[in-house]
Chains A and B, each alone.
Chain A
Amino acid sequence: MLFKAVKPVVQVALLIVGITMVCFGVMRGEADAVLAKAIRLCLECIGIG
């Protein structure tokens, strides 16, 4: 079946895409944004208020 031939290719491609996206995200400062938000408690954001 065609799907079976395609599946490993998709898997490898997704792994590469995932790694690239993480690197790109870190580069444009998303990781810092995550940390900044995760160590500060925005009360309303978790349903306090």
Chain B
Amino acid sequence: MKLSKIAALFMVPVLALCLVACSAPGGNAGESTSSDPKIAELTAQKPTNADEAAELYAKLMQKENEIFSSDNALWEKVFNAANKDSAMIEDGSNYGDFLLKTIDGAKDEFTADELKTLKAGAQQIKEIEDKLESLEKEFPGCGSTPSAGESVDASTAGMTAGANASSEATKFPSFTGKDLDGNDVNSDELFSKNKVTVMNFWFTTCKPCVGELGDLEDLNKELAKKGGQVVGVNSFTLDGNKGEIADAKDVLSKKGVTYKNIWFKSDSEAGKFTSNLFSFPTTYVIDQNGNIVGDPIVGAISSAEQRAALDKLIDQAIANSEQ
């Protein structure tokens, strides 16, 4: 009996180590795969249950992102044009229609070939959006996060070590949301206007998160000179929960924070990204193209080491943006 217990005692760490050793994280599990079926095929599919609908929803969203990323620079121009016209997407209208309108409004900025690519893309997005809408109608909630209530791991939370740090750019998932004052925000606009965006994820009852808000406010002022910004995301305020927004605003005003704090739908790609984060505070650095630079800073940036790491990422992001 005694011996077996001692054996058990030693087995526990051994087992734990085995588990860790076998754990080579799946790296880009969440990233897009190129061998997807055509959009027409996807939009023609008729899911029979909520699971299938959710899968299709995810595939379509991915397709949409692929369209944007395939001609990144062109779309960037479109989004910029959209900003100038200050045309905002209203709830309910088709995003593809909005894009088509914007492209039409700025057609003298593009060559005939470019226009053709953009219009084809926008048309496809329109079809996808139509399908997404009908899916939502038929299976409410199919676009919501499938991982809710499940375990998250480091790789899906975008926290794995340097594997994709320098070689491959990881896009921050695009989103449309609002700041805590109710103004519309969209990711492309948010990122493209600044050479670097420091995105800080926090929540209201996390003392170290609240503790570093003052430092982030200082950082925001510093970055403003370099053409950068700090943006906060309070994970309690996702989906625009009014009570949580009020609490968050209270904390922010007490800490003298003036930089933008935003929320988006938790069933959006960015929402899922945020739900998968589990350690707080976490700070991402994003360049002008909307790409995540390096690995996130986990933990408060108040310590000298963490701050140095953050500054390095910021410089890298500015360099990326100026390329």
Determine whether the beta carbon of A42 is less than 8 Å from that of B209: yes
Q: Which residues of A contact B235 (CB under 8 A)?
A: 40
In the complex, A8 has a CB within 8 A of chain B: no
In the complex, A1 has a CB within 8 A of chain B: no
In the complex, B273 has a CB within 8 A of chain A: no
In the complex, B117 has a CB within 8 A of chain A: no
Determine whether the beta carbon of B299 is less than 8 Å from that of A41: no
Determine whether the beta carbon of B279 is less than 8 Å from that of A41: yes
In the complex, A45 has a CB within 8 A of chain B: yes
In the complex, A16 has a CB within 8 A of chain B: no
In the assembled complex, 17 residue pairs joining A and B whose CB atoms fall closer than 8 Å, in A order, are A36-B203, A36-B205, A39-B278, A40-B203, A40-B206, A40-B280, A42-B208, A42-B280, A43-B208, A43-B279, A43-B298, A43-B299, A44-B299, A45-B206, A48-B299, A49-B208, A49-B303
CB distance from B153 to the nearest CB of A (A): 13
Determine whether the beta carbon of A45 is less than 8 Å from that of B207: yes
In the complex, B300 has a CB within 8 A of chain A: yes
Determine whether the beta carbon of A44 is less than 8 Å from that of B205: no
CB interface residues, B 199-214, toward A, < 8 Å = 203, 205-209
Chain B 23-56 interface mask (CB, 8 Å, partner A; 1/0): 0000000000000000000000000000000000
Determine whether the beta carbon of A44 is less than 8 Å from that of B278: no
Output the nearest chain A residue to B278 by Cβ-Cβ distance: A41
In the complex, A12 has a CB within 8 A of chain B: no
Alpha-carbon gap, A48 to B205, bound state (A): 17
Chain B 236-249 interface mask (CB, 8 Å, partner A; 1/0): 10000000000000
CB interface residues, A 4-49, toward B, < 8 Å = 33, 36-37, 39-45, 48-49
Determine whether the beta carbon of A42 is less than 8 Å from that of B206: yes
CB interface residues, B 257-289, toward A, < 8 Å = 278-281
CB distance from B152 to the nearest CB of A (A): 9
Alpha-carbon gap, A33 to B203, bound state (A): 12
> Per a CB cutoff under 8 Å, which of A37, A39, A43 touches B205?
A37
Determine whether the beta carbon of B279 is less than 8 Å from that of A44: no
Alpha-carbon gap, A48 to B279, bound state (A): 10
Q: Which residues of A contact B279 (CB under 8 A)?
A: 40-41, 43
Q: Which residues of B contact A37 (CB under 8 A)?
A: 205
Determine whether the beta carbon of B280 is less than 8 Å from that of A41: yes
Most buried by B among A33, A37, A44: A44
CB distance from B304 to the nearest CB of A (A): 13
CB interface residues, B 272-319, toward A, < 8 Å = 278-281, 298-300, 303
Determine whether the beta carbon of B300 is less than 8 Å from that of A44: yes
CB distance from B100 to the nearest CB of A (A): 41
Determine whether the beta carbon of A36 is less than 8 Å from that of B298: no
Alpha-carbon gap, A5 to B252, bound state (A): 56
Having A42-B209, A43-B279, A45-B207, one finds 15 other A-B pairs with CB under 8 Å, namely: A36-B203, A36-B236, A40-B235, A40-B280, A41-B278, A41-B279, A42-B206, A42-B207, A43-B208, A43-B280, A43-B299, A43-B300, A44-B299, A45-B208, A49-B300
